[in-house]
Structure 1
Amino acid sequence: MAGGSAIRGSRVGAGPMGEAERGEAAPRVRVSYWCINAHETRPSFAQEPEIVVPEVWDCPRCGLPAGQDKDAPPAPPKNEPYKTHLAYVKERRTDADGAALLDEALAALRARRGG
């Protein structure tokens, strides 16, 4: 017989789950958020004066930002594509600058080689 346990699926100290054991739950307020794909999310927040309900919430279905205005949800963030080192160099220098630097480097190399 493989290790029989009368209380299978439980842990030591586990008891009945309920309001009486845990105490009363804090009053909650549910807020609706909508993303650009019309997904509705309704997280609940504690209803206390110091709790500030956020303006934007991440949609759990698509990951886009969601706002409280159903008719005007926030726009998706713009993702910049990965830039290579060459792309950054081309932002700083023009083709003419690159040609001048190449000519200067080739002249220095030829001078060192003696030709």
Structure 2
Amino acid sequence: MAGSSNAIRGARVGSGPMGEQDHGVRAERVQVSYWDALGNETIRYFSADVADEEIPDQIDSPTSGLPAGRNKDEPPQLVKNEPYKTHLAYVKERRTEEEAVELLEEALQKLRARRGRK
């Protein structure tokens, strides 16, 4: 048994004859480069059949996590998120201090009227 050889040892199943160069026809594709604010380039490949307007103008850079655009000289900047606002913060944006005092006084008068006080 030591002298027997196995012709497929070390070969992928379905790989075909050894030395096969053509593993199928490769579709035509276009290379698109994206740059982030740190200067990192990311290359994406798209089918040549895809219209240019369907190729995204911006992606997330896998290197830095920053947005990356197709213009090397003007990469997109990270948009700052607004901090979470409480309900009170939104109310304060809509009302002046005088309006708040007036509304509070009206609410207290209604509450006192329900409870039988003046």
Give the alignment's TM-score, normalised by structure 1. 0.72
1:86, distance to aligned residue in structure 2 (A): 1.0
Deviation at 1:42, TM superposition (A): 0.6
Give me the identity figure in percent. Answer: 52
- Greater shift, 50-59 or 66-75, is seen at 50-59
Q: In structure 2, what is the equivalent of residue 95 of structure 1?
A: 97
- How many residue pairs are counted as aligned between the two chains? 100
Residue 35 of structure 1 contacts residue 59 of structure 1 at CA under 8 Å; is this kept in 2?
yes
Matched, 1:30 2:31: yes
Using the alignment, how far apart are the partners of 2:21 and 2:91 within structure 1? 64
The aligned residue for residue 16 of structure 1 is: 15
Secondary structure of the structure 2 residue equivalent to 1:31: strand
Bigger radius of gyration among the two: 2
- Structure 1's consecutive aligned runs of 4 or more residues displaced over 4 angstroms after TM superposition are 17-21
The alpha-carbon deviation at position 62 of structure 1 amounts to 2.5
Matched residue, 2:83? 81
Separation in structure 2 between the aligned mates of residue 82 and residue 19 of structure 1, nearest angstrom:
58
**What TM-score, normalized by structure 2, do the two folds share?**
0.70
Name stretches of at least 5 consecutive residues in structure 1 with no aligned partner: 1-13
**After the TM superposition, which of the residue ranges 29-38 and 53-62 deviates more from structure 2?**
53-62
Partner residue in 2 for 1:51: 51
